């Protein structure tokens, strides 16, 4: 990761981040020089990618095969009514560029399979798993383990959400959920429903974890699972 110099415009745009002693100018330069791969442009991926764009992650790649549906607007706030029927990654790319014209956004309109994941993940500093497909979560986690790429995984179901972060030497998603892919992790929103703000909370936590990893700030959720229950407004962190 080659760091770049901060321009006067950068200093103004990212001033609130640079003020943080844990990040400062060096951390912001790291963000601008970073490349993040986001799998999924739905409820989680849209929130994560918008915050990463705002933070100044230099290159954001995002992959999804779906189109925007009216039912998405309850929680996927990167989209508007006018986007219904459009390709999600294309609409997301336009939104990210509108937030920050100084970053590079690459859209992949496809369902990412294992071989393609190896190709795309190999170029990333961090991978974000934001799908609602348990089998995809296993695949993303396993390819990241294979490549030694840090990964932040999130899931939502109903009123609940969860986040974990992986890097070499730590517990993986498969360690947490060793069951078959069709019964591990969270139920897809299309089958079990979801409370709209919950993905926003989970996606925000995921984005925070990515920024921490890239700037070497704080303690990521290694060997820990953060869970959130909106009905009881309860956060818990479990050691794995």
- Among 144, 151, 186, 189, which one carries the catalytic annotation? 189
Nearest to 201 by CA among 155, 167, 141: 155
Instruction: Give residue-wise pLDDT tens across range 155-194.
Output: 999 999 999 999 999 999 999 988 755 554 555 555 568 9
Strands 35-39 and 59-64: parallel
1 lies in some domain: no
Establish if 110 belongs to a structural domain: yes
Q: Taking phi first (over 0 means left), then psi (-120 to 50 degrees means alpha), and beta for anything else, what does residue 53 get?
A: alpha
Distance (Å) of CA 141 to CA 15, 42, 187: 34, 18, 17
Domain count, the chain: 1
pTM for the whole structure? 0.94
Domain with 231, as residue range(s), is: 8-239
Query: What are the beta bridge partners of residue 64?
Result: 109
- What CATH number has the domain bearing residue 221? 3.40.50.720
Measured over the CA atoms of residue 31, residue 34, residue 40 and residue 41, the dihedral's sign is positive
DSSP H helices, 19-74, are 24-32, 43-55
189 is catalytic: yes
Q: What is the pLDDT of residues 112-149, one digit of tens each?
A: 999 999 999 999 999 999 998 888 999 999 999 999 99
């Amino acid at each position: 990761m080659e760091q770049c110099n901060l321009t006067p415009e950068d200093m103004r745009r990212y001033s609130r981040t640079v003020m943080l002693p844990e990040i400062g100018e060096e951390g912001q330069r790291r963000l601008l020089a970073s490349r993040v791969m986001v799998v999924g442009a739905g409820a989680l991926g849209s929130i994560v990618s918008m915050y990463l764009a705002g933070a100044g992650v230099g290159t954001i790649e995002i992959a999804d095969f779906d189109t925007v549906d009216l039912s998405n607007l309850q929680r996927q706030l990167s989209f508007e009514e006018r986007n219904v029927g459009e390709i999600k990654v294309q609409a997301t790319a336009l939104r990210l560029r509108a937030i920050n014209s100084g970053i590079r956004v690459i859209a992949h309109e496809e369902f990412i399979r294992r071989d393609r994941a190896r190709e795309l993940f190999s170029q990333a500093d961090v991978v974000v798993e934001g799908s609602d497909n348990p089998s995809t979560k296993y695949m993303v986690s396993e390819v990241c383990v294979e490549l030694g790429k840090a990964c932040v995984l999130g899931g939502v179901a109903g009123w609940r959400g969860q986040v974990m972060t992986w890097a070499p030497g730590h517990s993986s998603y498969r360690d947490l959920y060793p069951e078959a892919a069709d019964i591990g992790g969270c139920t897809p929103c299309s089958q079990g429903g979801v409370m709209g703000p919950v993905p926003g909370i989970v996606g925000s936590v995921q984005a925070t974890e990515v920024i921490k990893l890239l700037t070497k700030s704080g303690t990521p959720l290694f060997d820990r699972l953060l869970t959130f229950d909106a009905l009881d407004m309860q956060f818990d962190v479990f050691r794995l």
